[in-house]
């Protein structure tokens, strides 16, 4: 019995030293705390018809503090002025930063924007 005890302890130690399964980190995406009104600039609405819409997608890099570090065009509207205006507006947004296991992290999100010409835009 005394001779097997060291072997049993060695076996138990070897089994205990096997790598434990890695758990997936808990990641919570960023949420909007302060949004902005993405209004259609009057210059762009003059070139469009009532009911017509234009869409674009922005890529926003959000830092640990929840502010937008960088904004870029992921899908253009086809109108450079409108794209630039959307970037300027998006940089004013404030987010509750993403977290990983409860710690703030940097993140990237896609923000789709749809501009639609409504009757009020036709009178500008």
DSSP helix/strand/coil, 101: coil
Tens-digit pLDDT string for the chain (124 aa): 556 666 666 666 666 655 567 789 999 999 999 999 998 887 777 777 888 889 999 999 999 999 999 999 999 999 898 999 999 999 999 999 999 999 999 999 999 999 988 765 545 5
The pLDDT score that the predictor gives to residue 76 is 97
pTM over 0.85: no
What are the distances in angstroms from CA 79 to CA 24, 30, 71, 91? Answer: 42, 29, 16, 19
The pLDDT score that the predictor gives to residue 17 is 56
> Rounded CA gap, 24 and 94, in Å?
28
Following CA atoms 79, 81, 84, 88 in sequence, which dihedral angle do they give, to the nearest 10 degrees?
-130
> Rounded CA gap, 72 and 63, in Å?
15
Q: Which residues pair with 108 in a beta bridge?
A: 61
For residue 86, give the nearest of 117, 65, 59 by alpha carbon.
59
> Rounded CA gap, 51 and 42, in Å?
15
């Amino acid at each position: 019995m005394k001779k097997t005890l060291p072997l049993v302890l060695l076996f138990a130690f070897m089994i205990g030293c096997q790598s434990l399964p890695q758990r997936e980190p808990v990641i919570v995406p960023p949420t909007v705390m302060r949004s902005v009104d993405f209004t259609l600039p009057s210059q762009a609405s003059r070139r469009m018809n009532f009911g017509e819409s234009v869409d674009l997608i922005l890529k926003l890099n959000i830092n640990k503090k929840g502010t937008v570090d960088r904004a870029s065009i992921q899908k253009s509207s086809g109108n450079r002025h409108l794209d630039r205006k959307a970037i300027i507006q998006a940089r004013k947004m404030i987010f509750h930063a993403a977290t990983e296991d409860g710690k703030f992290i940097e993140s990237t999100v896609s923000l789709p924007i749809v501009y639609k010409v409504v009757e009020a835009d036709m009178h500008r």
